[in-house]
């Protein structure tokens, strides 16, 4: 089938048959929005990827259980911010189960069709009484025009909400994909990143839905880093309710993945742009690698290097830091064939520095959307990841996070 896609303004309620709400339940001391509800009018096929951190939070445990018990079907997602409900023992696990049960009662669906997510401070008890009071208010506030409120309600240290949407034309029929995400610190996903929720009004069989999500996540959420930290609560959840009447099969799978990837990429880049203390979005290209895995490994090493990130923050075109990281990344590397390019300015090539180009690179680094490229001189594989600079503000935010 022929297929095209178009980026839209919108978020999780852009696809047909989804409603959302975002309210204040009093979980955050600031009184800000802290409880989000996302509901599909009909049972949706559901897929998710979760953190690989072994210090796993209660909502991740419950959501994994519910996906297994429901056979990958969901009607609702309940999300709170301001408290991670992680490392909270049996009591925290019961709170996550109660959140699902209360949501199921309001929505009128089996409890296993409710997924749960939380974000905030680790090791703090989540006040279920406040959620019991807030949930009916959120349920009453739900609407197809309330996706932006939900996107605000899942934020913690995020400086702005993250939303994205796209429309795909498959065989002359329109399918919408929308999403929202939160994340600002503790960003170095291994299967997902912080919290992201994506919806589509396409009908997608479970095997294709899971395959599509993993393909999209690998090139988006798994290709970003802010600080090299993997959270206890990371998840990306995808719901497909079929409200468009368009079914995705093998012939339209590539078009669906392209649209899904476009939405996820916008959300992922929003997370990096909103990284704690970030002032610059940095695209890291690694080429000349012996394999794709080695290219990704080196790109992540560069993107997570405090020396590289602080040099970029200070506008210092210190190519030596990039070469040093590439050389210690544990991948095939040939110094005599290596190269470093900042923007379009060559600073090191074939074993020889080009410091005469440093002023041009320094001027380029004054910008806010930057790229750095390293050629390993060891093959033909490549990888791209996104990161941000490291500022004193990052230290302040995390030094004061609990206090």
For 181-238, the pLDDT digits (tens) are 998 765 666 555 579 999 999 999 999 999 999 999 999 999 988 776 667 888 999 9
Contact 96, 116 (CB under 8 A): yes
Q: Strand pairing partners for 200?
A: 177, 240
Is-catalytic flag, 193?
yes
The residue behind tokens 């605000």 is: 152
SS (H, E, C) the chain: CCEEEEEECCCCCCCCCEEEEEECCCCCCCCCCCEEEEEEEEEEEEEEEECCCCCCCHHHHHHHHHHHHHCCEEEEEEEEECECCCCCHHHHHHHHHHHHHHHHHHHCCCHHHEEEEEECCCCCCCCHHHHHHHHHHHHHHCECCCHHHHHHHCCCCCCCCEEEEEEEEECCEEEEEEEEEECCCCECCCCCCCEEEEEECCECCHHHHHHHHHHHHHCCHHHECCCCCECCCCEEEEEECCCCCCECCCCCHHHHHHHHHHHHHHHHHHHHHCCCCCCCEEEEEEEEECCHHHHHHHHHHHHHCHHHHHHHHCCCCCHHHHHHHHHHCCCCCCHHHCEEEECCEEEEECCEECHHHHHHHHHHCCCCEEEEEEECCCCCEEEEEEEECCCHHHHHHHHCCCC
Q: Give the β-pairing of 381-388 and 352-353.
A: unpaired
Give the pLDDT of residue 2: 41
CATH 3.40.50.620 given to domain 3-273: no
Q: Which of 349, 346, 374 is nearest to 360 (CA)?
A: 346
Give the pLDDT of residue 393: 80
Residues 6+ apart with CB under 8 A from 344: none
Give the pLDDT of residue 401: 61
Q: How far apart are CA 36 and CA 21, in angstroms?
A: 6
Give the pLDDT of residue 232: 83
Rounded to two decimals, the pTM is 0.91
Q: How far apart are CA 184 and CA 162, in angstroms?
A: 11
CA distances from 305 to 54, 119, 299, 312 (A): 24, 26, 10, 11
Contact 135, 206 (CB under 8 A): no
Give the pLDDT of residue 136: 98
Instruction: Name the architecture of domain 281-399.
Output: Roll (3.10)
Q: List the alpha helices (DSSP H) in 168-279.
A: 206-218, 253-273
Residues of the chain with pLDDT under 70: 1-4, 185-193, 228-230, 401-403
Two structure tokens written together for 178 = 């929308």
CA distances from 376 to 63, 192, 342 (A): 41, 27, 15
Could you tell me the residue ranges of all domains in the chain? 3-273, 281-399
Catalytic residue among 193, 261, 283, 387: 193
Q: pLDDT (tens digit, 9 = 90+) per residue, 96-122?
A: 999 999 999 999 999 999 999 999 989
Element (H, E) at 131: helix 128-141
């Amino acid at each position: 089938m022929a297929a095209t896609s178009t980026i839209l303004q919108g978020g999780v309620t852009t696809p047909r048959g989804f409603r959302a709400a975002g309210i204040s339940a009093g979980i955050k001391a600031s009184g800000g929005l802290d409880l989000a509800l996302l509901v599909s009018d009909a049972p949706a096929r559901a897929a998710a990827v979760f953190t690989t951190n072994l210090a796993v939070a209660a909502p991740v445990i419950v959501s994994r259980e519910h996906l297994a018990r429901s056979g990958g079907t969901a009607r609702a997602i309940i999300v709170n911010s301001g408290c991670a409900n992680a490392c909270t023992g049996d009591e925290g696990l019961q709170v996550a189960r109660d959140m699902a049960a209360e949501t199921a009662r309001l929505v009128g669906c089996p409890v296993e069709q409710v997924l749960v997510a939380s974000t905030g401070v680790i090791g703090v008890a989540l006040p279920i009484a406040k959620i019991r009071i807030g949930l009916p208010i959120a349920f009453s506030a739900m609407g197809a025009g309330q996706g932006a409120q939900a996107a605000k309600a899942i934020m913690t240290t995020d400086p702005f909400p993250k939303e994205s949407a796209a429309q795909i034309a498959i065989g002359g029929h329109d399918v919408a994909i929308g999403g929202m995400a939160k994340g600002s610190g503790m960003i170095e996903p291994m299967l997902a990143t912080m919290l992201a929720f994506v919806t589509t009004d396409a009908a997608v069989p479970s095997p294709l839905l899971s395959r599509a999500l993993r393909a999209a996540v690998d090139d988006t959420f798994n290709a970003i880093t802010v600080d090299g930290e993997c959270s206890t609560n990371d998840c990306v959840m995808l719901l497909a309710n079929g409200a468009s009447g368009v079914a995705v099969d093998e012939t339209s799978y590539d078009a669906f993945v392209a649209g899904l990837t476009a939405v996820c990429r916008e959300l992922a880049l929003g997370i990096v742009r909103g990284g704690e203390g970030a002032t610059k979005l940095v695209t890291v290209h690694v080429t000349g690698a012996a394999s794709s895995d080695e290219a990704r490994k080196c790109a992540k090493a560069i993107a997570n290097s405090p020396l590289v990130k602080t040099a970029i923050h200070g506008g210092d075109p210190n190519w030596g830091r990039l070469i040093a990281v590439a050389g210690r990344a544990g991948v095939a590397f040939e110094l005599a064939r290596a190269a470093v390019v900042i923007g379009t300015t060559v600073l090191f090539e074939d074993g020889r520095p080009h410091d005469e180009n440093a002023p041009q690179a320094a001027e380029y680094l004054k910008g806010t959307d930057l790229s750095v490229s390293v050629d390993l001189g060891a093959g033909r594989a490549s990888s791209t990841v996104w990161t941000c600079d490291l500022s004193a503000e990052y230290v302040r935010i995390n030094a004061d996070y609990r206090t």
